[in-house]
Amino acid sequence: MTSREKLLKKFNEEYNRLNDGQRKAVDQIEGPVMVIAGPGTGKTQILSVRIGKILLETDVLPSNILCLTYTDAGVMAMRKRLLTMIGADAYSVNIHSFHSFCNMVIQHNRNLFHTRDLQAINELEQTEALMQLIDGFETDNPLKRYKMDAYFEASNLRDLFSNMKREGWAQDYLLKKIDDYVTHIIPDTFYNKIKAKKGIHELTVDGKKELEKMEKLKAAVQAFPAYQQILKERHRYDFDDMITWVIAAFEKDADLLASYQEQYQYFLVDEYQDTSGAQNKLVELLVSYWQDQSPNLFVVGDDDQSIYRFQGANMENMRMLTAKYADLVKVVLTNNYRSVQPILDAAHSLIGKNKQRLCNDDNSLKKILSSSHPVLKDMRIEPVVRNVTNEFEENILIAEEIKALIEEGVPPGKIAVIYREHKCGDELQKFLQLQNVPYYTRKSINLLKNHFIKQLITYLNYVVAENEQSFSGEHFLFEMMHYEFNRVPAIKVAAISNEVYLNVRNNKKDVPKTIREYLTVMVANEKQKLFSGDTVTDDLVRLGTNIEELITASRNKPLLNWFECLFNNAGILEWIMQQPDKAWLMQLLNGFFDFVQDECRRNPDLNLQGFCKQISLLEQNGISVPLVQTSGNERGVNLLTCHGSKGLEYTYVFFISCSSNLWEGKRKNSQGYRLPPNVFTAETPEEKEEELRRLFFVAVTRAEKHLYISYPVMS
């Protein structure tokens, strides 16, 4: 059997499994197509089958197909699915995230992009660049501050510049929009009506405040080129730059754009509701060659599951696509193969309250999901909504019910607990542990806030302090002596501290007057002074020896070697191996050492003092050193946030902490720059509520059979 015959056989098997809506999407291989795929409607399947149909019915090669998706995980899932259908040819189909596609374009055209010496910027370097930018502001700049926090505007500038890149807004474009708003809209909207009757044209108080905001915004936009120049001088770029660079190159170099337009003849975009303005602009440029003939553009998305606005996602792209192509074929997938009908009905009654939906723009689109799973479609298991007195009672209830399900034979991995914020899951974990219920959760933590890592940082601060001035780090050393891995009893620390204190108070001669001196004497004499017990003495001798070695090594060894001395000679590794949670402690240690390695790679001359300053800057600016913490058993009950649950499904879903104070309480007024309404419609309270409703919709549609929604009456 030839490879084409194998493809045809596999294609027919998959194609025959499709429903009418899916077949319509697959069969329309020419021209623009938008598939609105609700939860559980099999969108991944139609993407792979459609690629198979293109390869079977046209002369194009796998390399002539470009498939773009939102995340690297989406790339892997799509290629894995495609492998089962077309085999090795799946590796020839160009499947990319937007960033990886732009990176490929840059790498293949280094002579045009001049990026050979550039490195991706991290958050700390970005903060330092913004501080340098602010330091360079003229004295009359409205963003310049002299009192309180001089760098107050840094985070606002970072968010603005990121939005400019994500949305593809050029500086000139924004400045023109601001000037138009200030010249025409503000005077008409915020004029003083009482004084106007007297012929006096004056702004109201709100109008003057609005004008002041626009002056700040204008100054911030004008600072954008200077910020980009600082990045260039530092040989750094951020990931948003990659997309803007490629867009600029395509717009400037017609031959470069044409080379990719000639290569790619079919375009598929997954999770289209999550694309940003710049990502959408990239797609528009790639398909622009066929504008008069209608491009072979196939997009899949669901406006009801657009939940990443905070990352630049904009569901308006789906609306604009319908306006752009008159011959756009719209396919709505309504056959749900995941959930029982009562859950789908509840989800529909929820999301139906949203006004910003494609089906409200086009009455021909019907988005009522129908349970179509052969086993589930006739089941009438109603979702359960219940209130509890408080979160404590809720956690007890959930833990007991989950334990009962497992005792009945339900696999823990088929159960999920979904919540708005990780802190809700953190509390529940304690109750699951009491019930001996296995669970699994993943979340990102900040290494710098971990207790164990803080202890290591204290060692750093102590050595730096001693290098700057001998015996100036005594408060650090006193704390270090209490650390568990140093094995010094607290009573021994108290006795040493008391003796040193008395020596200082009584001004005794030839006796240690600091803890460091005391330990040095112990190392020299190798004998106990206050208590008997060789073990205690040995631990104190080891501590004293170790700190002297670390102080000496900090001036003679590279930073990475110094950390190796810390981990090995201080007895930290030995202590970790004896702990019940040694796997987690090793993960913390490795994560911290990876961070040190990254910083040394960026700055080969980095020393201990410089590294401590970097940590201080990170802490001052609230910048995290992230580490993904996995807790529990992978086969246990799944604990995850609403955002983390997207794309997943479970037989039993417990949706907890669904009270308004936990959901709506998170909505805060932005402290950043507000763009004028002629650029981007500011998110109104109603739109924020619709965003939350979409997030709620995503969570409830993870359930296959059983959905339990609970909320505490009291916090």
Instruction: Kindly state whether residues 441 and 453 are assigned to the same domain.
Output: no
Residue 554 belongs to some domain of the structure: yes
Specify the pLDDT at position 198: 45
Cα-based angle 230, 233, 234 (whole degrees, multiple of 5): 85
Domain boundary among 611, 641, 667: 611
DSSP 8-state class, residue 381 = -
Decide the pairing of beta strands 626-632 and 439-446. Answer: antiparallel
Instruction: Kindly state whether residues 465 and 563 are assigned to the same domain.
Output: yes
Residue 622 belongs to some domain of the structure: no
pTM recorded for the entire structure: 0.86
- Label residue 363 exposed, middle or buried (CB < 10 Å: 0-12, 13-18, 19+): exposed
The domain in which residue 37 lies consists of 3-110+241-333
Instruction: Kindly state whether residues 663 and 704 are assigned to the same domain.
Output: yes
Q: Give the chain's end-to-end CA distance (angstroms, integer).
A: 66
Per residue in 1-27, pLDDT tens? 677 777 788 888 999 999 999 999 999
The total number of structural domains in the chain stands at 4
Query: What is the CATH classification number for the domain harbouring 416?
Result: 3.40.50.300
Residue 684 belongs to some domain of the structure: yes
User: How many Cα atoms occupy the beta-carbon half-sphere of 544 within 13 Å?
Assistant: 22
Within a 10 A sphere around the Cβ of 564, how many other Cβ atoms? 14
Instruction: Kindly state whether residues 144 and 279 are assigned to the same domain.
Output: no
Instruction: Kindly state whether residues 278 and 156 are assigned to the same domain.
Output: no
Residue 187 belongs to some domain of the structure: yes
Domain boundary among 333, 353, 374: 333
Instruction: Kindly state whether residues 98 and 125 are assigned to the same domain.
Output: no
Cα-based angle 359, 364, 366 (whole degrees, multiple of 5): 55
Instruction: Kindly state whether residues 218 and 127 are assigned to the same domain.
Output: yes
Residue 295 belongs to some domain of the structure: yes
As averages over each run of 10 residues, the pLDDT of the chain (715 residues) reads 76 92 95 96 90 92 94 86 84 94 92 83 92 94 84 92 91 94 73 51 74 93 97 91 94 96 96 91 93 87 87 76 90 97 98 93 92 96 96 96 98 97 92 95 94 97 96 95 92 92 88 91 66 58 91 94 92 93 94 95 93 94 91 93 94 96 67 80 75 96 98 87
Instruction: Kindly state whether residues 264 and 201 are assigned to the same domain.
Output: no
Instruction: Kindly state whether residues 21 and 98 are assigned to the same domain.
Output: yes
List residues bridging with 441 in a β-sheet.
631, 639
- Label residue 650 exposed, middle or buried (CB < 10 Å: 0-12, 13-18, 19+): buried
Distance (Å) of CA 294 to CA 23, 61, 230, 331, 659: 21, 20, 42, 17, 48
Specify the pLDDT at position 464: 97
Residue 345 belongs to some domain of the structure: no
Token reading at 592: 């911290």
Rounded distance between C-alpha atoms, residue 401 and residue 403, angstroms: 5
Rounded distance between C-alpha atoms, residue 30 and residue 323, angstroms: 19
Domain boundary among 305, 333, 361: 333
Phi and psi, residue 422, nearest 5°: -60, -30
Rounded distance between C-alpha atoms, residue 710 and residue 319, angstroms: 35
Specify the pLDDT at position 2: 74
Token reading at 672: 């950043």
Specify the pLDDT at position 339: 98
Instruction: Kindly state whether residues 428 and 475 are assigned to the same domain.
Output: no
Instruction: Kindly state whether residues 167 and 97 are assigned to the same domain.
Output: no
Instruction: Kindly state whether residues 211 and 133 are assigned to the same domain.
Output: yes
Coil, helix or strand at residue 641: strand
One-letter amino acid at 124 equals: L
Rounded distance between C-alpha atoms, residue 591 and residue 453, angstroms: 10
Cα-based angle 65, 68, 74 (whole degrees, multiple of 5): 120
Residue 625 belongs to some domain of the structure: no
Mutual angle of helices 559-569 and 534-556, in 10-degree steps? 180
Rounded distance between C-alpha atoms, residue 67 and residue 90, angstroms: 11
Specify the pLDDT at position 202: 67
The per-residue DSSP string of 659-687 comes to -HHHHGGG-----SPPPPTTTS----HHH
- Label residue 601 exposed, middle or buried (CB < 10 Å: 0-12, 13-18, 19+): exposed
Residue 219 belongs to some domain of the structure: yes
Contact 444, 626 (CB under 8 A): yes
Residues contacting 574, CB < 8 A, separation 6+: none
Coil, helix or strand at residue 188: helix
Rounded distance between C-alpha atoms, residue 296 and residue 463, angstroms: 63
